Amino acid sequence: MKIVVCVKQVPDSAATVTVENGQVVWGDAPLVINPWDEYAVEAALKLTEEHGGDVVALSMGGEDEKEAVKHALAMGSSEAILVSDPALKGIDAGGTAKVLAAAVQKIGDADMVIFGRQSIDSDSGLMASQVARILGWPSLTLVAAIDALNVDDKQTRVERNTEEGRQVIESRLPAVLSITKDFGEPRYPSFMGIRKASRAEVPVWSVAELGIAAPEAVISWPEVMNPPTREVTTEIISGGSPQEIAETLAEKIIAEKVL
């Protein structure tokens, strides 16, 4: 089977992300693979280990933004592709979905496209459903487990995580999935994997090579703001015993009408 796994580069979650002059900035912090996408890569690798086949890591981003696909290669993906084009500057979520869907079609013969549940910078969580709509394939979001997969009959049964519990869904393939943490902890790249990834030449596809016109953004972010600052005071409660401290705490909570 062939699985395309979509990975995005985001500022390191340890970076201090802030807003300057209406723009998001994160200093010198490196761009890394979106943490949710490591789960997507893990899921794709597990499925191909069980059922055979290849994992192709796909990303859309700046020309030098190969860290995410290289991380996927180091984890064990067989191939990596970056879509990059100056015409994609300022692209919105709908446009990103058109580009990724066209790239999936150019890769060809995919049985599944797997996404992380959301990006940690823009956080829309829209990409899997939008790509599924463009491809005309089933959209299976927030998948926590795959209970059955029959590549020859092109059928799968998955469990979705919902607020109410687990939902079991049967679907035909090819399908587009987004993956939650429950699928299993992502593996660390092996030493051999890191060497392979560092030497790999990642093909860079332009929009013209995808056979589409550069999508026009219909949504723009004219300004981004820091959240309003909150006044917070901290008080450490001391006392002669845990009971005394708890009593003082309870009195203060009641006085503040928290309870």
Ligand X SMILES: Cc1cc2nc3c(=O)[nH]c(=O)nc-3n(C[C@H](O)[C@H](O)[C@H](O)COP(=O)(O)OP(=O)(O)OC[C@H]3O[C@@H](n4cnc5c(N)ncnc54)[C@H](O)[C@@H]3O)c2cc1C
Q: What residue ranges bind ligand X (CB under 6 A)?
A: 6-8, 24, 34, 36-37, 40, 59-61, 90-93, 96, 100, 115-116, 118-119, 121-127, 217, 219-221
The rounded distance, in Å, linking the Cα atoms of 74 and 67 is: 10
Cα 105 from Cα 95, distance rounded (Å): 15
Neighbours of 131 (CB within 10 A): 26
**Smallest separation, CB 120 to ligand X (Å):** 8
Q: What whole-number distance in Å separates Cα of residue 237 and Cα of residue 249?
A: 7
Q: Is residue 140 a contact partner of residue 131, using CB atoms and an 8 Å limit?
A: no
Of 166, 191, 160, residue with least CA distance to 178: 160
DSSP H or E segment with residue 244: helix 242-255
Smallest gap from Cβ 58 to ligand X, in A, equals 6
Rounded least distance, CB 144 to ligand X, Å? 15
Closer residue to ligand X in complex, CB, 27/52: 27
Separation CA 77–CA 175 (nearest Å): 19
Taking the least distance from each CB to ligand X, the nearer of 48 and 96 is 96
Give the Å distances, CA to CA, from 136 to 101, 173, 224, 226: 10, 11, 34, 38
Closest distance of CB 12 from ligand X, Å? 13
Taking the least distance from each CB to ligand X, the nearer of 48 and 130 is: 130
Report which residue's Cβ sits closest to ligand X.
Answer: 116
Cα 59 to Cα 76: distance, rounded to the nearest angstrom: 16
Q: Which is nearer to ligand X, 119 or 156 (CB)?
A: 119
Q: How far is the CB of 65 from ligand X (least distance, A)?
A: 9
Our CB check for ligand X shows the closer of 54 and 121 to be 121
* CA proximity to 47, closest of 163, 177, 170, 141: 177
Complex with ligand X: residue 28 or 231, whichever CB lies closer: 28
CB of 59 to ligand X, least distance (A): 4
